[in-house]
Amino acid sequence: MLRAMRAPDPFDLVILGGGPAGAAAATTAARLGLRTLVIDKARFPRDKLCGGLFTGRARGEYRRIFGRDLSPELFEERRAISFFLGPQPMGRMEGVPPMYLTRRFDLDAHLLEMAGAAGAEMRTGCRVAQIDLAANRLRLEDGTEARYRVLIGADGVTSSVARALFGRAFDPDTIGFALEKEMPPEPDPVIARTVRVDFGAADWGYGWSFPKRASTTVGVGGLQRLNPDMKARMHAYAALLDQGDAEGMKGHFLPFGDYRRRPGRGNVLLAGDAAGFVDPITGEGIAHALGSGRLAAEAAARAIREGRADEAAPLYRAATLDIRVALSTARILRPIVFSERMAPLFTRAFGGSTRVKQAYMRMLAGETDYPAVLWLVARRLPRAILRHLLLRRA
Ligand SMILES: Cc1cc2nc3c(=O)[nH]c(=O)nc-3n(C[C@H](O)[C@H](O)[C@H](O)COP(=O)(O)OP(=O)(O)OC[C@H]3O[C@@H](n4cnc5c(N)ncnc54)[C@H](O)[C@@H]3O)c2cc1C
């Protein structure tokens, strides 16, 4: 007798996207005992346009999720940073909390490998053709299907899951855009161990030069709406650094201040860039991608365990409160850093203050948080405003 074909049992968790957010979610979920599937259109190792600056905050998440520390083969430690505003130096600091430089080509493959070792199943090199939220099912381009109890969209800034949930992945008025090129390694030994940040290289954005063993990652990025001439800015920045020309640069969107207040709905959650969880001043996204991926998997596990998969989103929203507070505080600080009218004040409050710069570096290291930095800046601002006004009158 012919037996009726039964659809395979659903996965507890399907994760679309195997970047840092997806790998963190998959590792956490597999360790919590969820039957987990990761789907990514790319085959790994694959590249992702990124400066590869891995902060102490990201390192904390990495240790917590993967249960090990950073290996020197993948991560180069840097303890010096210099800031510029146009051609004007704003200070160089030695002995700051460690930052790490990595290559996403290697990092993302390493993270996904750990997710596989934890027990997550992988479907890489496979695009999703259709997301059927009503039926809890994804149809893949190869004709197969994947059913889920909970779905995590960790599919980056152009997230198809965000589009299926909310109609679009991001708001073109608030999105960031960045250009980058790998330049030759830096020959000067002092510059070669110094992370460089240039405010003013883009409007409401900045330029960066991250010297690594094999290359120097040079880029400019900022709000796309205010930088229609980003390519010209990248050429100008490359000329300023005198590191090589910017021909062959590549571009990528990045969320820049417009994150999802409700990063999901029902049994569908958004993590990392798909939720807009990127720092709106520094453009740092890896730490929040790891953190939100972990939190999304934990919320999914709890909702499934309690038999209420459809309520994973409110659990996840509550769990991401700290991330959203950090991002909204950074948005309050952002005009002080980026607006042209505040530039003289910013030069005084930031450039003139080692304490503020140190607090900022400690925040990136995960040793303090954005509200503490905001408080410090707010305490200095009135004095800076006064001095600025007095100098203008003198
Ligand atoms: C130029 C630039 C420089 C940056 N520099 C830094 C930096 O130095 N430090 C830092 O912390 N952050 C940086 N960021 C931000 C950082 O790159 C992101 O925040 C981070 O990659 C987010 O991780 P994610 O896992 O959410 O998404 P991603 O890393 O984008 O991963 C998404 C994954 O989803 C897959 N995918 C997408 N669509 C589909 C689909 N339809 N089907 C299947 N798979 C799909 C992709 O192939 C990809 O593997 C930078 C960003 C840019 C653009």
pLDDT given for residue 306 in this prediction: 98
pLDDT for 340 equals 79
Q: How many degrees, rounded to 5, is the angle at CA 166 between CA 8 and CA 371?
A: 110
pLDDT per residue over 201-260, tens digit each?
Answer: 999 999 999 999 999 999 999 999 999 999 999 999 999 999 889 999 999 999 998 999
Q: What is the pLDDT of residue 121?
A: 98
pLDDT by residue (tens digit) across 290-317? 999 999 999 999 999 999 999 999 999 9
Using CA atoms, how far apart are residues 161 and 166, in angstroms rounded to an integer? 8
Instruction: Provide the pLDDT for residue 224.
Output: 97
Higher pLDDT, 244 or 321: 321
Task: Quote the pLDDT of residue 217.
Answer: 98
Binding pocket residue ranges, ligand 1, CB within 6 Å: 16-22, 39-42, 48-53, 127-128, 154-156, 160, 178, 180, 219, 221, 252, 254, 272-274, 278, 283-286, 289
Choose among 181, 179, 178: nearest CA to 245.
181
What pLDDT does residue 392 have? 57
Instruction: Note the pTM of the prediction, 2 decimals.
Output: 0.94
What is the rounded distance in angstroms from the CA atom of residue 151 to the CA atom of residue 143? 19
Nearest-CA residue for ligand 1 atom 17 is 50
C-alpha of residue 355 to centroid of ligand 1, in Å? 32
φ and ψ at residue 88, rounded to 5 degrees:
-85, 120
Arithmetic mean of pLDDT over the chain? 92
Q: Which CATH number fits domain 11-52+103-171+256-327: 3.30.420.40, 3.40.190.10, 3.50.50.60, 3.40.50.300?
A: 3.50.50.60
Q: Rounded distance, CA 106 to CA 45, Å?
A: 7
Residue 2 scores a pLDDT above 50: no
Q: If you measure from the C-alpha of residue 307 to the centroid of ligand 1, how many angstroms do you get, rounded to a whole number?
A: 32
What pLDDT sits at residue 368? 82
Provide the H-helix boundaries in the chain.
20-31, 56-66, 104-118, 160-166, 189-192, 230-241, 286-305, 312-319, 321-338, 343-346, 354-364, 370-393
**Residue among 40, 103, 183, 212 whose CB has most ligand 1 atoms within 8 A, to mutate:** 40
C-beta pairs of 328-335 under 8 Å, 24+ apart in sequence: 329/369, 329/370, 329/371, 329/373, 329/374, 330/257, 330/279, 330/280, 330/281, 330/370, 331/257, 331/280, 332/374, 333/281, 333/370, 333/373, 333/374, 333/377, 334/204, 334/257, 334/280, 334/281
pLDDT in tens, 78-110: 999 999 988 889 889 999 999 999 999 999 999
Q: What is the Å distance from ligand 1's center to 253 Cα? A: 9
CA dihedral 35, 40, 43, 48 (to 10 degrees): -130
Residue to substitute in 195, 269, 286, 294 for testing ligand 1 pocket (most ligand atoms within 8 angstroms of CB)? 286
Task: Give the per-residue pLDDT at 3.
Answer: 46
Equal fold, 11-52+103-171+256-327 vs 79-97+176-254 = no
Q: SS3 letters for 17-29?
A: CCCHHHHHHHHHH
Take atom 21 of ligand 1 and give the residue whose Cα is closest.
286
Domain residue ranges in the chain: 11-52+103-171+256-327, 79-97+176-254, 339-393
> In this structure, which topology does domain 79-97+176-254 adopt according to CATH?
D-Amino Acid Oxidase; Chain A, domain 2 (3.30.9)
pLDDT at 393 over 60: no
Q: Write the pLDDT tens digit of every residue in 142-191.
A: 999 999 999 999 999 999 999 999 999 999 999 999 999 999 999 999 99
Rounded to 5 degrees, what are φ and ψ at 47?
A: -90, 155
- Counting from 1 in the atom list of ligand 1, the atom nearest the Cα of 272 is 26
pLDDT of residue 337: 83
Query: Cα(169) to centroid of ligand 1, in Å?
Result: 14
- Tell me, what's the pLDDT at 90? 87
